[in-house]
Each structure stands twice: as C-alpha cells, then as structure tokens.
A and B are shown apart, each in its own frame.
Chain A
Amino acid sequence: MDIVLNAIGLVFQPYVLLVIVCASLFGLFMGAIPGLSATMATALLVPITFFMDPVPALGAIIAASAMALFAGDIPAALLRMPGTPSSAAYVEDIYAMTQRGHAERALGACLIFSALGGVCGTVVLITTAPFLARVASNFSSFEYFWLASLGLTCAVIIFAEAPVKGFISLMIGMMLATIGTDITTGFPRFTFGSSDLAAGISFIPALIGLFALSEIIKFAAVNVQGAAIPRQAKGELFSHFLELARMYWPNALRGGVLGTVIGVLPGAGGGVATWISYAVSLRFKSEKRLKRIRAASTDDAADRMGGVVEATSANNASLGGAWVPLLVFGIPGDAITAIVIGVLFLQGIIPGPRVFVETPDLAYALFVVFLLSNLLLIPFGWVAIRSFNLIMQVPRPALMPVILILALVGAFAINNAAFDVLIMLALGVLAYIMEKNGFPIAPTVLGLVLAPIVEENLVVSLMKSQGNLLMFFERPVAAALGSIAILLWLMPILSRIYKALRLRTA
C-alpha cells in the first residue's frame, strides 16, 4: 500500500502534472493532423524527455501516445483522413456518419469507448504485470532468447499481406543493429574505421529519421493541401452515450479484451488491434441483436456503430497491453514501446522484472499515469473535438518545416553529436524509399531493438551450453517458447504442404 501511495505522490506533483498536460495537448495535436502518427509524436518527445526525471519523462510519453491514438479519429470522421494508422479500420463508418450530420455522435462514441478501452488495458497491465514479473525473475538467457525470437517472429507475421517485405524490413533493422563494437570480443563491426560508428547506430536519431523525417520527405514530394471541413450538427457529443453503452457494451468489452491481448503480443500494436477487432465485430455480429438495436436506435447508423465501438476500444486498450511485455520482460510490444525502451535506457533504467524490485515506485507511478491519461482523455478529447476547426486551420505546409527543425534539434540534442543528425538523415531517406515500395517500417524498428537482446542472450546461452544447442530446450519454459517459435517459423511451409495435400485428395 505504501508503494501505491508513494507512486500517487510521485505523479500528483505540479511539475509532473504540467508535463502530462502539455504532452497530452501535444499528442492530441499530432494525432489530429493526418499523416502524423502517435509513434511520430512519441519519437519527437524523446529528446525533450531526456532532460526530465523518469516519472515525468515516461508520463509524457504515455499521455501523448494515448491522446494521439484517439485524436486520429477526429480527421478520420471529418475529412475521411485517418490521423493515425490505427483509425484507418473504421474511417469509412465514422465518415459516413459525418456525411449524415452525426460527426459529434461518432466522435463522442470514439472518445468514450477509447477511454474505456484504455482503462481496460490499464487494469490488465496493473493486475498481470507484477505477477508475470515474479515469474520472469526466474527466466535465464535461454528463455529471453526465445522470447525475443518470438517477438521478431510476430513482427513478420503481423504483416501478413507482405510477409517477405516485412521479413526483409526486420532483417534490415537487425543488420543495422549489428553495426558497432561487439559485446563479447570488443571487435568493431561494420564501422569502416569510423569512431562515430563504434558506439553503433544511435537509437533515438534513428527513430526520428524513420518516423518523422520520412514523413516530411513524403509530404515534400506530394504536398497535399487540407480538404474543406463539413458542417455538423451540435450538441450530440455525449448525449447518446447511455444509449450507445446499453446497445454496444458487448462490443466495447470484446474490443477492450481483444485489444489488450493483441497489444501484449510482441510486434503487434494499435493498428493491428483495431483491424482485428473490427473484423471480429463484423464476423460475429448477431442478426437478432442488430434487429433489436435497429428498433431501439434513433438514427440509421446503428449497423456501423458496433464495429466503431469495438475497434476504438481495442485501439486504446492495446497501449496498456503493449506495456506488459515491456515492463515484465524488457521486450517491446509495438513501435511506441520500442521507443520507450530507448527512453528507459537513457534514464538509466533497465526494463525487465527487476523494475518491480529495484524501482517499484516507478512501476506503480506508471500505472497511475496510465489511469490518469485515460481519464484525462475525456475532457481533453472534448476540447480537441470542439477546437478541431482551429487545429485543421494550421496548414500542413507550414507545420512540416517546424517539425523538421524539431527533428534536427532532437536528433542532435541526445549526444550533442552532428553524426547523429546524419544517421537521422540516412534512416529517414531509407524509410521513405522503403515505404514507397511497400516495406513496412515497424519491423525495422523492432529489429533495431530486439537484435541486441537476441544476440546477447544467444551468446550467453552458447557460452553456458558450450555450443550444445539442445540446452536451449532443456528448461520447460524455454522448451515451450522455443517450440512455439519454431512452429511459427515452419508455419508457411506446413500450410503449403497441407494445401497441396488437400488439393491432391480433392
């Protein structure tokens, strides 16, 4: 109980609250601008959090990402332009409601159910993380090797529409992570005599390049102007909440649970959670229930709302879920938590089960920030919806040069090194070319983060086992994790064999 009170004391300080409020507004602004994602908002915040204590630093990131995830719904509803990739799943539904003059009703539902989904994810995080951390404290290098390998595997499986390109993107990230001094022999790898490269690719400048600079280059190449904002009926923002809650509570619950579970999977994230939840809502909609909803509903958008409620709940629930593997195993659940790993290291905190033993106050303070951010989402989201016209009046051609300078200063400020700016440029151009050619960027980031974990645990395990690979399966948890990973690797081959056999028998 003392820990919880200490944690509340750490968060409810004027400075920390001010940071959370500022980060929330920043997240709302970034999420509401189409093309600027929650990940980009997080990446741009990192250089600023470098100069803060751990609680305000991590609080800023949690608040900004939670707000940005919701804010992506605003331009999706009004302009049919999802502000973040996570909002893309249900953009057609909420835009269709806007066309009928019910934008406030759609956004009100998104806001409330995003907050509820976020609370659901946070409750799972609070209840499971300390327990899992106790289990994880018995893990050895063998279990961590398989866990990180599973994370890499999931990162590829998630991009099922282009698995080869997803895999190549992952390998590019892993290849980049091998640049620098080797931990076991001290030998400089792929440095070509450069002392700047001996320390490896700086993670934060790399992230800023991958997410921010690539987006600016993309914009410079196209320079799309904003569309006109349609006129909408007022006063519908929260007036239908009770009606929606009564009709769609199963969708909200299912979205919250599914979003949290998907968030926990390494390599997934809000985007995957929303798409899967949306698909589930379509697949399992009950005609009987729909008839009842149609009869009780006051508008003709009843059919669409189930999917919207389910997906938007899953969207914010995934955020809390993604922090479970981060805090418990030190393995990121998505691109945002991959960035958080960098922040934790910058703050001198090693993510993993030791966080709950060495800095329990910090761990519980993060839980408090999660709850606070999801509750703040409602008033701040309300302000954002109301002031959307104002936000959208900021022309993107004027915003992009300012973001460019923030990216440059941010990349430079981490180590005060000009070389980091060049790393940002190189990876920004690489990400632009990759995205243009259908290669997803998130696996590259996960490769950058997970490759050192995989390599370190592989080498330590090889040392322990003296090169005997069977020892990787001797411990029960390691054997289970290893079997799952190998099964997933063999899945494409097995499914082809299965299809061939079925064709032959048919």
Chain B
Amino acid sequence: MRVNDVVIGSILLVVSVSAAILASDFPSVPSRNFGAWTFPTVVACLLAASSAFLAIQGLITKTEPRRNSRPSRRAVINVLLVCLSPLFYVAVVPLAGFIPGVIAVIGTITYRLWGGMWRSATLAIVATLAVDMTFRGLLGVPLPEGLVTWTPW
C-alpha cells in the first residue's frame, strides 16, 4: 500500500480544504469573534499547507519506481480477512454468540496465516475459551451471547 507523496499530499489537501469549508459554518461564541470554528479551521489550514508542501516536494523529488512491490494475492486476501473481522464481530457475533463467532474468526485467520486445519481449530477453541473466561468470567464484561448462552464460568 505504498503511494506516491504527490497522491497522498493531494488527497490530504482535498480533505483539509473540505474540513475548513465545513468548519466555516460552525458558530461563534455569542458576541465574540471566535468559537466552534476557530480551532478546526486553524488545524485544517495547517494540514492543507503541509499537504500542499508534501505534494510539491513529491513532484520535485522524483523517486525511482519500486520493483516487485505489488502484493501477492495471498497477502491481499489475508489483509482483507483481518480488516473484515471487526465488521464480522459487529454484525455476526451478536447474533451467533461470542464463542462460535470468535472461534470462526480465529480459526479462519489462523488457517490463512499458519495453515493446518486441526491446529487452527484447536487454537481457535482454546484461545476463544481463554478470552471468554478472562473477559466474561473474571472481568464481568457482558460479551454477546447470541445463540449460545452457556459458558462454563
């Protein structure tokens, strides 16, 4: 995910200018010339200036394009799986329950990163029960119950 400084600077410039425009609509403290808009505007302007500087610096300093920097298909899938796990945790775990949901997450990712069906499944079960025991059993955190309401602690 390496991107040219010109691209990063340009994206940040657009974001910061948009933030400054949005902040200009924020109200002032009554009978004062400062308020909710002041600080975000200052930060957005500083971000815009530094982003523009980065983009210009990127244009001036031409760097050699990196070879073999394209990630493998396997790496892309692994990264996607890691990034999808929080969404899965939010969307599915409350319905399915903490234990089955988390076993699925750990099992899948361990299988992708480490390999071996049985060891991935074993690790997923042991780790899930350990996390459940620590957070639900010892710390009293209300973890999602879903379909499976039984826990040994």
Contact = CB atoms under 8 A, between A and B. Distances in A.
B86 A422 contact: yes
A258 interface: no
B32 A217 contact: no
Contacts of A222: 75
A167 B50 CA distance: 7
A48 B141 CA distance: 10
Interface stretch (A125-133, A318-326, A425-433): A425-433
B60 interface: no
Nearest to B110: A401
Q: Output the residue of A165, A401, A402 with the most chain B CB within 10 A.
A: A401
A14 B124 CA distance: 33
A409 B135 contact: yes
16 contacts: A164-B54, A168-B47, A168-B54, A171-B46, A172-B47, A175-B19, A175-B43, A178-B39, A182-B36, A190-B19, A217-B83, A398-B110, A401-B113, A402-B106, A433-B3, A454-B39
A408 B85 contact: yes
Nearest to A413: B141
A410 to B, nearest CB: 9
B79 interface: yes
B34 A405 contact: no
Interface in B6-36: 8, 12, 16, 19, 22-23, 26-29, 32-36
Contacts of B114: 395, 397-398
B2 A220 contact: no
B96 interface: no
A436 B1 contact: yes
Interface of B: 1-3, 5, 8, 12, 16, 19, 22-23, 26-29, 32-36, 38-40, 43-44, 46-47, 50-51, 53-54, 57, 71, 75, 78-79, 81-83, 85-87, 89-90, 94, 102, 105-106, 109-110, 112-114, 119, 123-124, 127-128, 131, 134-135, 139-143
B1 A433 contact: yes
A413 B33 contact: no
A463 interface: yes
A20 to B, nearest CB: 16
Interface string A385-422: 00000000001011011101110110111001010011
Given A220-B78, A398-B123, A168 B87 contact: no
Given A398-B110, A433-B1, A409 B143 contact: yes
Contacts of B35: 182, 184-185
A467 interface: yes
Interface in A179-193: 182, 184-185, 187, 189-190
Among B16, B39, B50, B109, max chain A CB count under 10 A is at B39
Given A220-B79, A401-B109, 8 more contacts: A165-B54, A167-B50, A182-B26, A187-B26, A213-B86, A217-B82, A437-B2, A459-B38
A219 B109 CA distance: 12
Nearest to A416: B142
A174 B40 CA distance: 8
A412 B85 CA distance: 13
A455 interface: yes
Contacts of B90: 418, 421-422
B82 A171 contact: no
Contacts of B134: 48
Contacts of A422: 86-87, 90
A397 B79 CA distance: 13
Contact of A424 (B44, B86, B94): B86
Contacts of B123: 398, 401-402
Contacts of B2: 436-437
A232 interface: no
Given A425-B83, A436-B2, A184 B109 contact: no
A488 interface: no
A223 B36 contact: no
Nearest to B77: A220
B19 A223 contact: no
Nearest to A462: B34
Interface string A196-240: 000000000000000001001101111100000000000000000
Nearest to A179: B40
Interface string A449-474: 00100110011001100110000000
A220 B50 contact: no
Given A178-B39, A437-B8, A51 B141 contact: yes
A383 B26 CA distance: 57
